[in-house]
Amino acid sequence: MQNSSEKKLHTVRPNIPVGGHPIEQGDYLIDTIAINEIADSILKWISFRNPGAIIYGAPRLGKSYAIKYLKRVFDIKYENQWITFVVRTRKMKTPNESRFFEFLLKDVGHELFDKGKADAKRERLVNFFLEKGDGSVRNQVVLFVDDAQRLSSIEFEWLMDIFNELDSYGITLTTILVGQKELSHKRNIYLTTDKQIVGRFMIQENKFYGLREKEELAYLLASYDQISEYPVNSGWSYTRYFFPIGYEQGYRLENETDEIWQSFQMVRSEAGIKRSAEIPMHYMIAIINYVLKKYGANEENVEWPTTSMWREAMIESGYVNAEVIQSSSE
């Protein structure tokens, strides 16, 4: 294949400092079919003012990625209809009320997150949510809690107190718990031991999936070809920027779906992985980034990536090793 340096582009490639593109910085969010399906459910929960629900799935499938993406979408598309926050749990040997509220305050962006004792921090969080909720059209706060399988019963009770106090002032707190399969297992246990927790935070549940079908991969790749763009309003999608000659000649990542999917099947077969394919978003993004960065115009500058390059990326990203480890543990 002819090197792109031997040809000239009809249009000038944007002058972005090496390392400054979102692909190189790892700071970008791309839409997926799985995210859209989850978004539909979450929007219903918000619309019905459900107090809480859970989203669960295996590690590395892209749950954290999804809620970051959805927060950004909600902030733009539903600006001020409700206020959205994303917080993450910390693993603690023993639940500590002061640290619990301190972490929540820190994650929602409160400046005084570490001041005072537990009661003061709790009151500060309530007042913060009251202010934000009261300033929204729907008087509603949506709280995504990442790695929620770590929450203990007492921590759920602390969250319940927050919900009840906000509710007394006419502010709805909708809590979306996001975590691993253990989160669904906890729900089943609480159905017999503590239905109040289920009633507040686990009324609905939805399973999150990785890439399971070629059509899902095609949808993702098309976003790199068309929807992604940097600089803003430049007309240069991520695919076009890293493979400008191939793009100009009509090549698109979406059209490589069959070849890439077949490569996944082959590397899995060679590694002895027999379980059904469900490609975690963490690794899929890493694979695409690897190919764009290493073989794109900023480094090796090939005209268009080959099958061997995709196979190399699947191995170098750690995807194959992760699948082997996961298969051996089942």
Helices and strands (H, E) in the chain, number of each type? 15, 5
Contacts (Cβ under 8 Å, ≥6 apart) of 278? 58, 61, 209, 210, 211, 212
CA distance to 212, 230, 311, 327, per residue, from 275 (Å): 12, 38, 19, 7
Could you give the dihedral angle defined by the CA atoms of residues 148, 58, 184 and 82, in that order, rounded to the nearest 10 degrees? 50
Cα(329)–Cα(164) distance, integer angstroms: 42
Taking the CA atoms of the chain, what radius of gyration do you get in angstroms? 23
Model confidence band, residue 7 (pLDDT cutoffs 50, 70, 90) = low
Cα Dmax for the chain: 70
Domains of the chain listed by start with CATH number: 4-23+212-328 (no CATH), 33-207 (3.40.50.300)
User: Once rounded to an integer, what is the mean pLDDT over residues 136-143?
Assistant: 98
The string of pLDDT tens digits covering residues 214-270 is 999 999 999 999 999 999 999 999 999 999 999 999 999 999 999 999 999 999 999
pLDDT band at 10 (very low <50, low <70, confident <90, very high): low
| DSSP assignment string, 139-207 | -EEEEEEETGGG--HHHHHHHHHHHHHHHHTT-EEEEEEEE-HHHHHHHHHHHHH-HHHHHHH-SEEEE
Q: What is the per-residue pLDDT across 114-133, written as a single tens digit (0 to 9) for each?
A: 999 999 999 999 999 999 99
Cα–Cα distances in angstroms (integers) from residue 222 to residues 39, 236, 305, 315, in the given order: 19, 14, 16, 23
Task: Mark residue 232 as left, alpha or beta (left: phi above 0; alpha: psi -120 to 50; beta: remaining).
Answer: beta
Instruction: State how far the Cα of 264 lies from the Cα of 151, in Å rounded to an integer.
Output: 36
Of the chain, the percentage scoring pLDDT greater than 90 comes to 87
Q: Give per-residue pLDDT as tens, 257-315.
A: 999 999 999 999 999 988 888 899 999 999 999 999 999 999 999 999 999 999 999 99
- Rounded CA-CA distance 271/268 in Å is 5
Distance between CA atoms of residues 257 and 261, nearest Å: 6
- pLDDT, position 201: 95
When pLDDT is averaged across residues 134-155 and rounded to a whole number, the result is 97
